[in-house]
Structure 1
Amino acid sequence: MSKREKFRQRFIAFKKRFMANVVKVRPRVAFRVIGAIIIYFPWMAASMIASMNKLSRWKKISTCQAFMARNTLAFEDVDIGSLTISMIPGGVSNSNELWTCRKHSGETIRYFTKVFVEAGSFWAKHLSIVSPFPAIYGGKTHERFTVDMVSRVQLADRGIPVPKLIAYDTVEKVMVTEFLDGMTVDSILEKLAEREALAANDEAVIRQSAIGLAKAHKAGFSLIDTQPVNCIWVPVEQKVYFTDLEFCSQQDKRSWDVGFFLCYLAARLPETILKTVRHLFLDSYRQERQIDQREIDETSRELLEYLPVFRAILDIRRFTPEELFEGLITT
């Protein structure tokens, strides 16, 4: 079977799952989402077109090599000519790339590159209209970029595990960080859901997710976008790193952070183990910081009716923006 045919079958399966989740959405939620899409469609379309144009430039080796040349000191021991690029799935809010290079010593080194695009800014501005997601104070592309970069430095300074910032471009709104050799907490939850039984490694992942989040809260930060897909488990360090910091804030949204993570547990896990994992997360969080259980329960109830939407979003994030565009046209 050809690569194109494999993609086609994969995308057809995605569309079936997506529609299965759509039909489960409650009418009130569906009305809010569809109404917002109709009203804001011209702006949404414009943001998507602008995003695709930017992504097409940043897929080119020459564009990325020029970035590295402008940041020579950050890549001083790297052979820029050896650069190869592969796209990392993550939906439409930003583009994620894996840069692989050789050092002058012959050693291979990898970087994670995040390209901020207008589509992500569109969602940031309008998520609070169609869902309980908190209103974002700075939703423009340069504002999201700045918040992510500054928060990354502040959190690292306070001992919170975040990927190290390597280089950045304030004009293009692009940042390069260290590449973490690990797996997303969401992918671990998927495997846990298949087994329906907690392994020792699973417990460590859940505990460290909770403890890391509590430490960020104690340090005076709310992360806002606490989806498990934005958390990376690094086994050799036994740590969970928080990777998506563009909504990080010093507003008190700590109950939201916890409730949002718990909501994604409910979206991924069967009832047979959900309660156990939920209790493990909350108990681990309390080791670092006390929590207002009533606020957490209220947030969880508010988010419950959005579970089909969140499941659909998780499916979308399995693809790159280009793959989504190609799949919609060809299937």
Structure 2
Amino acid sequence: MTEANTVIASASVIPVKVIKTLHVSYQIPDPLPWAQLAGPLAAAEDALARLDERLAKSPISDGFVARTHFTDACASLWLEGELVHLEDLVLHDAGMDIRSPTHELTRAHAVLRTRRRIAAAKPDWALSVSGLASLRGRGGQGDREAGSDDRKEGAHDGGGANDAEATLDGENLDQPLVMIETDPRLAAAFAAVDAAIAKSDRTLAGETTRRPERDPLVYDLDWDEDARIEDWQRIVDRTRTLPPALAAAITADAWDRVEPLQHMPWLGRLLASAVLRARGKTRWHLSCLHAGLKTIPRERRRSSDPASRLLTQFEAMTAAADAGLKDHDRWLNQR
């Protein structure tokens, strides 16, 4: 045993060099193969416009949008090889689970909440710096400054009412002060409220707490998300002069290739839907690209040819819009 320990102690430690991961840069095809893209692009634009026009005058547009949020969230997990039942997601969203929610169900619910946030916000919010930071789970400085300005405006607006109340209360200032006994539990509750208000004021003032260190077992510490996000945003900026459907297709494809976030591959397709909404192509709904991609074989979704991947995105938009038209007409007839 002693001899074995001696041999182990004499062994030199081999240094391990960690190679920093390099992300794949994305290049928009130049020139674009218009002869190959023109037909599917026109079909996608036409299908999206027809569905949006139908929803603009539909009496069930709100219900249609609410239901498609659920179906697209389930489809996003299907594309990753996971199965989430629509009924389970509905019950989980209502807080009426019949069993402990699975990891896949919680992820689908995260997609559902994100879709709702994008659909409820302004059309260009999700693509803004503050919107993207919020969707990533990081509070933006712009949001804090806006909140601080709103609070200041509210204080100015309510100044007259406070002065009036002070005047009414001032009529009894000449009376002797009386000590009022307070419940210690009530005092502790007020102290907790004061502490929460002070913490909110510090947050609104820009004092952010340090983010906790990420677990290397779950996250790649060399994965520079901020740099990847900047690269992706530069690509999106270059699509401003392109047709809306083509810009959305490039947005989704670039997210899949650059992979800005380690554990949110589905966010790129939601942002592509936000591009369609921001460009005015879908004013009344958020396109269900996940549901449309379910109709495309995996080999085509993962093609190495950029033009083929763009064609896949166009076909997904067309399939999602056509399915939406059929579902809308069926639900309208069942009223």
TM-score (norm 1): 0.24
Greater per-residue strand proportion: 1
Greater per-residue helix proportion: 2
Larger radius of gyration between Structure 1 and Structure 2: 2
TM-score (norm 2): 0.24
Bigger relative CO (Cα 8 Å, ≥ 6 apart): 2
